[in-house]
């Protein structure tokens, strides 16, 4: 379901064109200073309309705390916050009700929920839900003292010159994907467990909560398949665990090894391409051509870095609480 984490447990809810999206964090330590101002920077980074190639839809994205906050400090009770949806244009989706959009969850959600799903703007399956992920990530980052999580856009459409890659999609009147890299510094040795709860497993699980993600690789990733063992092995050079190279991406045996945690994700092109498409009309049971209406990103990857930081911080905060490296009561 829409829940992730063991001790720092995050649940997200809402629909793109409903009243709001929101989140609940169960297990957030008590005594953490938290105000709406803490969310401004990351919520602004996530917003559309801030850079070329993103959706013109803009929401205020000011968190409304409902539970778990008293005197600007977390109480230890479940922390719940809402982000209102005020800039919606649901009429853009009325004509598409009978035409499931390729690449979207329209068809699968319709079958999963028997037609009762909110289809406006993609409903519960929209990228709008990443606002809730970023909100949870803000809280997680505040708990990670001495640990930095930073993600950057590495390429668009195969171009490391991201402006060039974006412009090529604009000129072609189509959408485009990209690669985003995340680096986490300051991690202790030994976070995670082997096999099912390895650091790679948990981060991958959280990463695929971000809509449009198609792949993930750690360290050298798939390039490791083309290397010899002597090339790929990272020589340990001191007692802190520091290695000469970092082909492993900071994880060995499922555990953090004291080096930077490094991984990359592949973001697909926005399914809502401006190009005319062909799909099934389930009222006529015939295929027909159509074009997607509404406001959409040309390149989702432009807004993914802060979302990737958020889900990564959620995983790390949970693992550090499990290892008792984050106390249940924050004493300032």
Answer yes or no: is 329 within a domain: no
Residue 293: per-residue pLDDT: 67
Answer yes or no: is 328 within a domain: no
Q: What is the mean pLDDT of residues 41-46?
A: 94
Residue 306: per-residue pLDDT: 97
Answer yes or no: is 140 within a domain: yes
Model confidence at 274: pLDDT above 90: no
Answer yes or no: is 125 within a domain: yes
Which residue is associated with the tokens 């092109």?
Answer: 269
Answer yes or no: is 165 within a domain: yes
Residue 72: per-residue pLDDT: 97
pLDDT band at 80 (very low <50, low <70, confident <90, very high): very high
Residue 18: per-residue pLDDT: 79
For residues 86 and 11, the model is more confident at: 11
Task: Indicate the range of 56-70, 119-133, 238-252 predicted with least confidence.
Answer: 119-133
CATH of the domain at 202: 3.60.150.10
Q: What is the mean pLDDT of residues 289-299?
A: 78
Answer yes or no: is 331 within a domain: no
Answer yes or no: is 330 within a domain: no
Model confidence at 89: pLDDT above 70: no
Answer yes or no: is 26 within a domain: yes
Model confidence at 85: pLDDT above 80: yes
Model confidence at 218: pLDDT above 90: yes
Task: Indicate the range of 53-67, 85-99, 193-207 predicted with least confidence.
Answer: 85-99
User: Which residue segment(s) compose the domain that 46 sits in?
Assistant: 3-322
Model confidence at 193: pLDDT above 80: yes
Average per-residue pLDDT for the chain = 91
For residues 95 and 192, the model is more confident at: 192
pLDDT band at 71 (very low <50, low <70, confident <90, very high): very high
The structural domain count of the chain equals 1
């Amino acid at each position: 379901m829409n829940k992730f984490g063991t001790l720092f447990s995050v649940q997200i809810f809402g629909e793109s064109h409903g009243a709001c999206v929101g989140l609940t964090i169960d297990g957030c330590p008590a005594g953490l200073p938290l105000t709406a101002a803490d969310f401004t920077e990351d919520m602004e980074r996530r917003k559309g309309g801030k850079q070329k190639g993103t959706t013109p839809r803009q929401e205020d994205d000011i968190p409304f705390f409902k539970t778990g906050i008293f005197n600007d400090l977390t109480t230890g009770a479940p922390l719940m916050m809402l982000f209102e949806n005020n800039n919606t244009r649901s009429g853009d989706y009325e004509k598409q009700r009978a035409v499931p959009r390729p690449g979207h969850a329209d068809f699968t959600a319709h079958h999963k929920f028997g037609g009762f799903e909110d289809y406006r703007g993609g409903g519960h399956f929209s990228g709008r839900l990443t606002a809730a992920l970023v909100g949870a990530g803000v809280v997680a980052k505040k708990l990670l003292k001495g640990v930095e999580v930073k993600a950057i856009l590495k390429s668009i459409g195969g171009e490391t010159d991201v402006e060039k890659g974006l412009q090529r999609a604009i000129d072609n009147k189509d959408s485009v994907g990209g690669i985003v890299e995340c680096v986490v510094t300051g991690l202790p040795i030994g976070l995670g467990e082997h096999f099912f709860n390895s650091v790679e497993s948990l981060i991958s699980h959280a990463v695929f909560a971000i809509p449009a993600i198609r792949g993930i690789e750690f360290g050298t990733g798939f390039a490791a398949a083309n290397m010899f063992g002597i090339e790929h092995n990272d020589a340990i050079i001191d007692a802190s665990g520091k290695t000469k190279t970092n082909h492993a991406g900071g994880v060995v045996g499922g555990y953090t090894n004291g080096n930077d945690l490094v991984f990359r994700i592949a973001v697909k092109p926005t399914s809502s391409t401006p190009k005319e498409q062909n799909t099934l009309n389930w009222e006529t049971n015939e295929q027909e051509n159509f074009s997607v209406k509404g406001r959409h990103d040309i390149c989702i990857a432009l807004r993914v870095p802060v979302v990737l930081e958020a889900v990564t911080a959620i995983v790390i905060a949970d693992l550090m609480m499990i290892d008792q490296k984050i106390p249940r009561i924050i004493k300032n």
